[in-house]
Amino acid sequence: MSPTITDANSSFAPIDHSDGLAVLEQRGSVAETFGIPLAVLAELTHRCPLQCPYCSNPVELERGGSELSTEEWKKVLSELAEIGVLQIHFSGGEPTARKDLVELVQHATNVGLYSNLITSAVLLTREKLSALADAGLCHVQISFQGNEPVLADRVAGFKNAHHKKIEVAKWTRELDLPLTVNAVMHRQNLFQLPDIIQMAIDLDADRLEVANVQYYGWALKNRAALMPTLQQIEETSRIVEEAQARLKGTLAIDYVVPDYYALRPKKCMGGWGRQFFNISPAGKILPCHAAESITGLEFLSVRSNHSIAWIWQNSEAFNRYRGTGWMPEPCKSCEFREIDYGGCRCQAFALTGDAGNTDPACTLSPMHDKIFKLAEQESAGDNNRFLYRNFAGGTLETGGDYGA
Amino acid sequence: MAGRSRNISVSETSRPVLPRHAKLKFDETRQVWVILAPERVLAPDEIAVEVLQLCDGLRNVENIIDQLAAKYAAERGAISADVIAMLQDLADKGFLTEARERTS
C-alpha cells in the first residue's frame, strides 16, 4: 500500500472557487447543465453600523422590515443543504445585526453546512462570539479599513471601529476559530499595505485577503476618491508577491487586482450563473451581490412558489447571461470567451448602460480606453472626500464627523 | 498560544485531529468525500480519507500505523514513513493539528 499513500498527496488537489465547477462537471451535476454551487452567500441584512464608501451592497438598500424571518432563513438553509450546497457564508450588511444569528449558525450546523461569518466585528461581544463558536461556526472573516484608527475609522465612518476589530480578532483566535483578515484597498489606504500584512501576522490570522475595491454601486459613486494610481497598483503587486513568498506556511494571502488596470476582465463570479449565487436580505436569489443594480432583470425570491434549485436552473435572470450564447462581438468570437465569460455583467451595465455589452475592463471593449483614461485622471486627482453609505442614499463627508 | 499549534511536526506519538475549520464530510449530492475549509472545498482521495478518518484526536500515530498495517497486511516499517509523510503533508496544508490535552 505504500505507493498509494505516497501518491495520495498528488491526487489531493485543492479546488478553489475559481475551478470548483471542475468537480461538479467531472462527477455529473444535479442540474442538467449547471451543478448546484458548493458555496452560497447569505446576505442576512443590509443594516450595518459602518458606512464604508465602497460597500458592496446595492445603492438601494433593503430595509429591515423586508428581511426574511428566522424561520424563513432556517427553511432556506435546510433547502440549500438538501440540494447539495456545502458552505454558507453569512454576510450582510452586518450579519451580527441580526438577533437570531446564533440560531441560524446552529441550524446551519444541524443541517451539515460549513459556516463562515463575514463581519465588520463592531457589534460582537466576547460572549456572542463564544456562543457562535459553540453553535458550530467554522470560520470568521473580519474586514479592516487600515492598520491604525485614524484612517481606518474615517473610512468606516464609525468611531472606535478599528480598536473594536482588533479586540474581536484576538477573541476569535482565543476561541480557536480560524481568522481571515479582509483588507479592502484603495488609493487612500494602499500606502498602509505593508503594515496591514504585519497586522494580520500579529493577529495570528490564517488568511489575508488583499482586495482592491471593485467599482460598482457605492464604490462607483466614490470612484474619484478611491481609484488607485497605476504606480500604486504596481507597488501593491510587488509587495503582495514578496509577502506571499516570505510568509508561505504562516499566512496565506489572496490578492484581488482592480480590473480597471487589467488587460482582460475578471471571470466575475466564475461566470454568470455558473458556480455561485447569493441570497439577498429579502430572499431574492441573485447571480451576484450586485446583480440587482441591473435594471430590467426579474430576480425570483425564496418567497415565490419556486424551489431554490428551480430558480437556479430555470429562471430567466440566471439564464440570460449564462454560458456564451448571449455574447455580442467582440466576445462572441474571442478565444478567451470561456476563460472570462465576458467579464462582469454589473460593471458592463454600470459603465455602458447595457449588461449585455463586453465588460469595459477588457481591452477589446470599444469603451475601454475612455474608461481607463477617466480612471487614470480620477486617480491623479485630489478629490478624497467620501460619500458614506447609508439608507438615506449617502452622506458626504464633512470633516471630523464621519457624515453621521 | 493558539497560533503555535498550527504547524505541527508529526511523529508516532502525535495525536492528530482535524482542526475546527476543516471538516471531513461525505457529499451525498456529488457522491464524493470532501474537506471543507475556509473558502475552499477539497477532494481527498480514498487513502487520504481513510487516514483522516482515523485522526480522531484520541489515537496516536503509532496506533494509526498499527491499524493500517493490520488492515493491509503490510509490514509496519514499510508504511510507517509513508503514513507520517502523508500526515505531515496534511498538517502543512492546515488540515491536521495536534489534539490538546483534555484536563476536564
Q: How far is residue A225 from each of residues A55, A150, A370, A386, measured CA to CA in Å?
A: 14, 17, 19, 6
Q: pLDDT of A158-167, one tens digit each?
A: 999 999 999 9
pLDDT at residue A17, rounded to an integer: 36
Distance from CA of B47 to the nearest CA of A (A): 6
State the pLDDT at residue A31. 34
Q: What is the ipTM of this complex?
A: 0.83
Hey, are the CB atoms on A27 and B48 less than 8 Å from each other? no
Q: Which three cell numbers stand for residue A184?
A: 479592502
The set of residues, in sequence order, having a beta carbon less than 8 Å from that of B39 and lying 6+ positions away, is A16, A17, A39, A116, A180, A207, A254
In a mutational test of the B interface, the residue from A4, A6, A11, A12 whose CB has the highest number of chain B CBs within 10 Å is A12
Instruction: Compute the Cα dihedral for A53, A56, A58, A64 and give only its sign.
Output: negative
Nearest by CB to residue B79, choosing from A2, A23, A174, is A2
Residue of A nearest to B100 (CA): A176
The answer to whether A96 and A48 have CB atoms below 8 angstroms apart is: no
> CB distance B42–A30 less than 8 Å?
no
- Please provide the DSSP assignment of A12-55 as one string: -EEEEGGGHHHHHHHH--SSSSSPPPSEEEEE--S--S---TT-
Instruction: Calculate the dihedral angle through the C-alpha atoms of A48, A52, A55, A61, rounding to the nearest 10 degrees.
Output: 50
User: How far away is chain B from the Cα of A36, in angstroms, using its nearest Cα?
Assistant: 9
Q: Is A401 exposed, middle or buried (0-12, 13-18, 19+ CB in 10 A)?
A: exposed
| Contact (CB, 8 A) for A205 and A169 | yes
Element (H, E) at A231: helix A230-246
Residue of B nearest to A173 (CA): B2
Q: Cα distance from B95 to chain A (closest Cα, Å)? A: 12
Query: Which CA distances in Å does A18 have to A81, A270, A271, A297, B103?
Result: 21, 6, 10, 25, 43
Give the integer Cα–Cα distance in Å for A23 and A27. 6
Predicted pLDDT of residue B72: 87
How distant is the Cα of A201 from the closest Cα of chain B, in angstroms?
A: 10
Among chain B, residues having any CB pair with chain A shorter than 8 Å are: 1-3, 6-7, 19-21, 23, 25, 27-32, 34, 36, 38-45, 47-48, 51, 68, 72, 74, 78-79, 82-83, 85-86, 89-90, 92-94
- How far does CA B41 lie from the centroid of its chain? 16
For chain A, which ranges sit under pLDDT 70? 1-34, 400-404
pLDDT at residue B79 in the model: 87
DSSP A269: G
What pLDDT is attached to residue A97? 97
Contact A109, A81 (CB under 8 A): no
Mutual angle of helices A161-174 and A126-134, in 10-degree steps: 40
Best of B9, B17, B20 to mutate (most A CBs within 10 Å, chain A): B20
Which chain A residues have a beta carbon less than 8 Å from that of B68? Answer: 1
Mutate to test the interface with A, among B30, B33, B89 (most CBs of A within 10 A): B30
Q: What pLDDT was estimated at residue B39?
A: 80
Closest-CA distance of chain A to residue B51, Å: 9
Q: pLDDT by residue (tens digit) across A330-353? A: 999 999 999 899 999 999 999 999
Q: Which residue of A has its CA nearest to B50?
A: A5
